[in-house]
Amino acid sequence: MNFSLALLQTFDGNIQPSQINIAQLANLIEAYVSQYKYFYKTSLKECPEIIIEVTNANIPHLLGLSKNHHYGLPTYSANTIFEGLKNDWTLDNLIKGDQFWFAENQDKMVGVLLLYQIFHIQDCKVYSTKHIIHQELGNRYSRDNIYFIIFRLSDNRSYSVELSPIKNSENAYFPRSLKINDNVVESCEEISVQLIKQERIQTKKATIKKIGWKLDD
C-alpha cells in the first residue's frame, strides 16, 4: 500500500493492522494531519465557531501508547514516543514491549489513518454533548470533559474522536480519545459542522532526546 496523501483522502478502513508500517504511518500523519489547527463553522448558536488543534503529542494517546495502555514503553513522553514511531520503533517493538497492547488497540492504527477524513468531516457525523454533559446521562462525557464527538463509520466499524477543551481557550479543542465501536449517547445533539480552513501550527524547534528500543533476544 502506498502511504500518501491520496491514501488518507480515499482510505476506506480496509487494511490489516499487522501490515501497517509504523514509521510510514507516523510520518504521513505528521505531514498531513498533525501540527494543524482546523477552523469550523457549526450550527450551534452558543458555539458558532470551533477550532481543533492536533499536535504530534496527541497521536500516541490515540494509538493507545500511554502509561495506562502500554506498559513496556521506554518512555512516556508523548513527543518522544512520536519521534520514536517516525524513526526506528517498529510494530514488532511495540508488540514485544506489551503483548496485550496490539490485541486491544490494533484497530486504533486504522482509526489514525482515518483522521484526515475525520478532521475534514468527510462522511462523518458530529455530535455535541453540551446539553447532557451535566446530566446523569452524560456522566462519562462530564468525567472525561468531552464536548464534541466526530463519528465515522468505515468497513463495518465505527471510529469516534472525542474532543476536550484546551485550557484557557474559549472555543479551541483537542482530540482526547479515539474510540472503536463506541455507542454515542442518543441524547447527544447532532450538529452541522463545516471546515473553513486549516493552518499549520508554527512551533519553535525543540530538541527531543532520541530513545532507542533495545529488545531482549
- pLDDT one digit per residue (tens) for the chain, 217 residues: 788 999 999 999 999 999 999 999 999 999 999 999 999 999 999 999 999 999 999 999 999 998 788 888 888 899 999 999 999 899 999 999 998 999 999 999 999 999 999 999 999 999 999 888 878 778 889 999 999 999 999 988 999 999 999 999 989 999 999 999 998 888 899 999 999 999 999 876 655 666 666 544 3
Residue for grid cell 512516556 = 76
How is the chain split into domains, by residue range? 21-199
Q: Look up the pTM and report it.
A: 0.92
Sheet strand arrangement including 148-154: 189-191, 124-128, 148-154, 157-165, 172-180, 49-54, 36-42, 193-200
Q: Rounded to whole angstroms, how far apart are CA atoms 213 and 182? A: 33
